A and B are shown apart, each in its own frame.
Chain A
């Protein structure tokens, strides 16, 4: 009896319209937006090289760097909190890597591990203050934004007397761990594509775009992992529950405090990966690195369907939000439009996304 009921229900389930189910997905807006933006620039930026192998890898790399922190920001937002200290954490992680390595001669792998340890600590402090005091994370991490940026500038000036720390490049080349963040992969693939004549090569046969930057690999890996955690694990269910209604979650035994602190730690770690990718490939640390990145990450997450109130969103959405970001930024650059307009576009894009999300949420929760 019970099985027949379930069977019948199954059949009807398949009949619920595909469009309706699609509407229920938080990342719909971001995926649609990304496709629109790509089509737009495919027409407008035709012949500018934006869609050459080099150009594609360029805008993917810009998207990737933002994507790494946007996915973490999205998970934290689903869990019901913000982290405004992400940008400052990027700058701070940069000098934690660079100062001991350049000034004190520490091996790079050790300073990389140190940076991760510091990030875990910062995330833990952020999370613990938010959870213990019940203060809005907006305020707590706004404090973190200034404290970390101030520490970054103050400590760097105090120790080195400058605000930039160059000289990392030679260290990167001999370090076994640094390659995980600074290197490129897929030389063989790019060479093969060059040989086949699919992508452009230099006169000596080496392709212009010689390899895929590690940041793109990190971006993809983090997106896949985050999606897996959110949709298919116990922790994922807890994250949604914490953001949706912490009291109800606590009542059924979800460890809300631990989940939230863990998410803050993950965000800080993602900021550190961002810093590593950037600092090690450029070869120098700068105290102003990562400025405004916290807002860009939140914008990407919101475009990706995250609600500011928590409990709803997706990692894939944040990734496509970051892709929109990178495509537009590089597209404007390639088409030669004044880059001042980028910020206008950004703000408008975010407002549209928020309005759209608001509508979707109303649809999702209204009675039938």
Chain B
């Protein structure tokens, strides 16, 4: 691991009027590491990444880029300094081709000629796009096909591949898997592992502990604008993370409450027992899924390194 962290967030707070969205948040992103940012809705995840990607400026505290304090003027500024953010649904233009999406905003890198005769070298652009997609294991037969023909997971991958190709050092992925099915999510997760293998720093925002656990090295849990701590994978279990995200204590209280309800219900109605059985079955399925994901994660680790 390198000496200097890619990004260091020190005691950053962000206020919107009287609302305190973030208060005293610190985190560090190292190269070759997947840093998962977990938290329930409204925990401040979005505000934190928008601060990292140059949309917001912190009200207090500072952000260090490779050891030097920095203030991003705009998302473009952050992008030019190697911090690429892939937003969940704003990544791609469906009606444009894969190649045109890939080079959107960065067309200069594939132009030929000068002045009035400057033109896009579409042949080279297509070749690069196809090659970069092949590198992440997605076989695009025809890079001139519209992005709309790709699945959601593949679209996310084009966005990520684009960021990597144009020299991102830090990838910020905003809920990249939350709108995806299991299979598509695994495509994205595999690419996250690959990005790590290429020594990029990855900030992976999610509220899905299973996805985070599958690829994450470090976990930071946010709750109501504050960090509940940062943990290495060997310091914590998935259940602890889940409890923390949901606000720990509250969840415990809830479960005892629910247990009480169940007891009184059972006394009153025999049907309740059936419902309970169903719930138990569901839980069992969940556990099975967990095991599958764990196995997959092992595979990913192997592929990644």
- Mark out the residues of chain B between 129 and 151 whose CB falls within 8 Å of any chain A CB in the assembled complex: 130-131, 134-135, 139-142, 144-146, 148-151
Within 8 A of A (CB), among B94-152: 94-96, 100, 103-108, 111, 118-120, 122, 127, 130-131, 134-135, 139-142, 144-146, 148-151
**Do A16 and B142 touch (CB < 8 A)?**
yes
Q: Measured between alpha carbons, how far is A12 from B142 in the docked complex, in Å?
A: 9
Closest-by-CB residue of A relative to B108 is A234
List which A1-17 residues lie within 8 A (CB) of chain B.
2, 5-6, 9, 12-13, 16
Contact A254 B105 (CB under 8 A): yes
Select one of B96, B103, B151 contacting A311, CB under 8 A. Answer: B96
Distance in angstroms from B272 CB to nearest chain A CB is 43
- Report if A311-B118 is in contact (Cβ < 8 Å); known contacts: A6-B131, A248-B90: no
In the assembly, what is the distance between CA of A9 and CA of B94, in Å?
22
Question: B266 on the interface (CB 8 Å rule)?
Answer: no
Q: Which residues of B lie under 8 Å from residue A247 when comparing CB positions?
A: 90
Q: Are B120 and A232 in contact (CB under 8 A)?
A: yes
Instruction: Please give me the residue from chain A that is nearest to B118 by CB atom.
Output: A233
Q: How far is the CA of A14 from the CA of B257 in the complex (A)?
A: 65
B141 touches A9 (CB 8 A): yes
B93 x A365 contact (CB < 8 A): no
Q: Which A240-275 residues have a C-beta within 8 angstroms of B? A: 240-241, 244-245, 247-249, 251-254
B-contact bits for A298-342, CB 8 A (1 contact / 0 none) = 000000000100011000000000000000000000000000000
Q: Give the contacts of B68-97 with A (CB-CB under 8 A).
A: 75-76, 79, 87, 90-96
A231 to B111 alpha-carbon distance, docked (Å): 12
Are A311 and B107 in contact, with the CB atoms below 8 A? Answer: no
Are B131 and A367 touching (Cβ within 8 A)? Answer: no
Contact assessment for B148 and A249 in the assembled complex, using a CB-CB cutoff below 8 Å: no
Count of residues in A whose CB is under 8 Å from the partner chain? 35
Are the CB atoms of A252 and B131 closer together than 8 Å?
no
Closest to A255 in B: B105
Given contacts A5-B134, A244-B93, contact A365 B103 (CB under 8 A): no
Bound Cα distance from A6 to B119, whole angstroms: 23
For B127, list chain A residues within 8 Å (CB): 6
| Contact pick for A248, options B92, B107, B146, B148, CB 8 Å | B92
A240 x B100 contact (CB < 8 A): yes
Question: Which of B90, B108, B140 has the most chain A CB within a 10 Å cutoff?
Answer: B90
Q: How large is the interface on B (under 10, 10 to 19, 20 to 34, 35 or more residues)?
A: 35 or more
Across the two chains, which residue of chain A brings its CB closest to B141?
A12
Interfacial residues of chain A within 217-249, with CB under 8 A of chain B in the complex = 228, 231-234, 236-237, 240-241, 244-245, 247-249
* Shortest distance between the CB of B134 and any CB in chain A (Å): 5
**C-alpha spacing A228/B118, complex, angstroms:** 11
**In the complex, A367 Cα to B144 Cα: how many Å?**
15
Determine the residue in chain A with the shortest Cβ distance to B76: A253
**CB atoms of B95 and A312 under 8 A apart:** yes
Q: How far is the CB of B209 from chain A (nearest CB, A)?
A: 28
Q: Taking the complex as formed, is A364 at the interface, i.e. its CB lies under 8 A from any CB of chain B?
A: yes
Decide: A233 and B134 in contact? CB cutoff 8 A.
no
B104–A368 CB distance below 8 A = no
A6 touches which of B134, B144, B149, B151 (Cβ 8 Å) = B134
A9 to B134 alpha-carbon distance, docked (Å):
10
Residues of A within 8 A of B105 (CB): 241, 249, 252-254
Report whether B90 and A245 are in contact in the complex, using a CB–CB cutoff of 8 Å: yes
- B148's partner among A16, A231, A366 (CB-CB below 8 A) is A366
Residues of B within 8 A of A5 (CB): 131, 134
Contact flags A344-368 to B (C-beta < 8 A → 1, else 0): 0000000000000000010011111
The reply to whether B90 and A251 form a contact with Cβ atoms under 8 Å apart is: yes
Most chain B beta-carbon contacts within 10 A, residue among A252, A311, A367, A368 = A252
The chain B residue with its CB closest to the CB of A229 is: B119
A251 — nearest CB in chain B belongs to which residue? Answer: B90
On chain A, the residues within 8 Å of B87 by CB distance are: 251
- Which residues of chain B come closer than 8 Å to A234, judged between CB atoms? 107-108, 111, 118, 120
* Min C-beta distance of A307 to chain B, whole Å: 8
Q: A2-B134, A254-B105, A312-B95 are in contact. Are A364 and B148 (CB under 8 A)?
A: yes
A residues near B (Cβ < 8 Å) are 2, 5-6, 9, 12-13, 16, 24, 228, 231-234, 236-237, 240-241, 244-245, 247-249, 251-254, 307, 311-312, 361, 364-368
Q: Offer 14 A-B interface pairs, CB within 8 angstroms, sorted by A.
A: A9-B134, A13-B141, A241-B104, A245-B90, A245-B92, A245-B93, A249-B93, A249-B104, A253-B106, A254-B104, A311-B96, A312-B95, A361-B95, A365-B148
A24-B145, A251-B75 given. 8 additional CB < 8 A pairs? A2-B134, A2-B135, A9-B130, A228-B119, A241-B104, A253-B76, A311-B95, A365-B149
What 4 A-B pairs are tightest by C-beta distance, nearest first? Answer: A365-B148, A252-B105, A244-B93, A234-B107
